[in-house]
């Protein structure tokens, strides 16, 4: 639960940034990054289900949890990078005249 609150705050802040942005590609990238970060925890039960189907329930639960956590962590990092790039694009585009 300690990690859920910061994730929720980060998602809300990223959503606010995406709605207040003016560039064309920046907000879309921010929105995609937020979606990736917010939906990342769903990878854990997805991987558990896949591994349980391939092996027995105990082994599948353990390996699926590990695989899902690693995949979710990667998705959160990728989402955070997308948010960062989107925010930079949103800030820089009006200054440089990009995204016309």
Domain segments of the chain as ranges:
4-94
pLDDT of residue 71: 97
* pLDDT mean values, one per 10 residues, the chain (100 residues): 57 52 72 95 96 96 97 96 92 72
pLDDT of residue 20: 45
**pTM of the predicted structure, to 2 decimals:** 0.67
pLDDT of residue 25: 84
Alpha-carbon distance of 37 to 79, in angstroms, equals 5
pLDDT of residue 21: 42
């Amino acid at each position: 639960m300690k990690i859920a609150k910061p994730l929720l705050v980060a998602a809300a802040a990223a959503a606010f940034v995406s709605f207040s942005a003016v560039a064309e590609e920046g907000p879309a990238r921010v929105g995609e990054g937020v979606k990736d970060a917010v939906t990342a925890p769903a990878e854990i039960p997805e991987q558990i289900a896949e591994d349980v189907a391939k092996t027995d329930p105990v082994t599948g639960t353990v390996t699926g949890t590990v695989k899902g956590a690693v995949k979710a962590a990667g998705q959160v990092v990728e989402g955070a990078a997308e948010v960062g790039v989107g925010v930079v694009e949103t800030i820089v585009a009006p200054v440089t005249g990009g995204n016309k």
